[in-house]
């Protein structure tokens, strides 16, 4: 399993950090993984989840509900 940073994801999907967060809250974007308990700690995304979302964002939305 490979992890991607927020910046790597932003570059891949061309959505701003804010838009990624909005979609994540709505359940239409993969959930981030927090690597520490600190509220401002590093977060990553599973590459597999991002690739699946990129293939078909509408299907991801349907599967996540």
Question: Within the chain, which residues score under 50 in pLDDT?
Answer: 64-65
pTM, full prediction: 0.83
β-pairing verdict for 43-46 and 33-34: antiparallel
The reported pLDDT for the residue numbered 63 is 61
The reported pLDDT for the residue numbered 62 is 55
The reported pLDDT for the residue numbered 58 is 86
A 10 A CB-CB count for 15 gives 14
Domain chopping of the chain, boundaries? 3-63
At 32-48, the pLDDT tens digits run: 999 999 988 999 999 99
């Amino acid at each position: 399993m490979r992890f991607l940073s927020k910046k790597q994801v932003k570059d891949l999907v061309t959505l701003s950090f804010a838009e990624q967060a909005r979609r994540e809250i709505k359940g239409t974007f993969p959930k981030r993984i927090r690597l520490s308990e600190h509220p401002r700690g590093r977060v990553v995304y599973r590459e597999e989840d991002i690739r699946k979302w990129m293939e078909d964002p509408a299907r991801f939305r349907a599967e996540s509900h």
